[in-house]
Amino acid sequence: MDGTVTAALQARELVKRYGEREALRGVSFEALAGELVAVTGPNGAGKTTLLSILAGILKPDGGEVVVAAGEVGWVPQQAALYRRLTVEENLLLFARLEGHGDPRASTEEMLELSGLRERRGEIVARLSGGNQQRINIAIGLLSRPRVLLLDEPSVGLDPRQRARLWKFVSGLAERGTTVIFSTHDIQEAERYGGRLLVLADGESLFDGSPAELREAVRREAPEAADRDFETAFVSFLHHRGH
C-alpha cells in the first residue's frame, strides 16, 4: 500500500449554462470518504446547480463527475414525503420502490439510524420540520450511498431541531459516508463542514478548512478581522469582486 487516499467523488471543471448565463464556471473539487463538505456562498452562487449535477439530475455543459464506487444519494430541500402516511409506511414504500430484497429489514435499519423508531407509527404531517427532514435523509440513505448530497438541509428548522439534525448527519460521516451539503449560512458551514467550498456567481473562490478560510478572510479583508465571522466573510466576498 502506498498510502494514497482515493476521493469518493471528484468534480472536474464543471460548467453549466442557462442561455447566456453561466451558473457554474469551471468548478472543481473532491471529497474523501467520511468527509463533511459544506458548499456555501450567497444566493444565486450555483450551490443547488452543483449538487444537482453531482446527483446526476442535471447534465453539465462541460466537465465531468467521477464517483469512486457505490451510489450517490440525493436529498432535495423540499421533503419528498407522503404526509398522510406514517413514518414507517413512508420508509417501507420507498424501500419497495428502491427494489430492496427485504423492505421491512431496510425500514427497521433506517428507523434505527435516524433515531425515529419510537415515532414509527406517527403520521408524517404531525411531525416537526426537523423530524420530517430526518425521514427525508433516511429515504436518501435507503440506497446505501457512499456519497450523500443534502441541499440546504436545515432551512426552516429551529435551533434545537437544527442541532439534532446535524448530530444525525455528523454521525453518518463518522460511519464513513461522504456528506456534501449546501448552505447560505456561513456560520453553519464553518461549524459543521470539515471542508468548505465557497461559490459566488458560479465561480469557486475558496476550497479548504474553516481555519484556512478564517486566515484567508484575515489576509484579504484585514479591516474586518475583528468583526464577527459572517461580517468578515461578506468583506472577503467584496474583496473578491462579489
Check residue 3 and give its pLDDT.
46
- Cell numbers standing for residue 197: 467550498
Query: How far is 1 from 227, CA to CA, in rounded Å?
Result: 46
pLDDT of residue 16: 97
Average pLDDT for residues 148-164, to the nearest whole number? 87
Structural Rg of the chain based on CA atoms: 19
Pairing, β 7-18 against β 72-75: unpaired
- The domains found in the chain, sorted by start residue, are 7-70+146-210 (3.40.50.300), 81-144 (no CATH)
State pLDDT tens for residues 177-205: 999 999 989 889 999 999 999 999 999 99
Residues 48-99 have pLDDT tens digits of 999 999 999 999 999 999 998 778 999 888 777 999 999 999 999 999 998 8
DSSP 32: E
Average pLDDT over residues 40-55: 93
Higher-pLDDT residue of 60, 211? 60
Average pLDDT estimate for 23-47:
94
How many CB atoms are located within 10 Å of the residue 103 CB? 18
pLDDT confidence of residue 168: 87
Looking at residue 217, its pLDDT comes to 81
What number is the average pLDDT over the span 108-137? 90
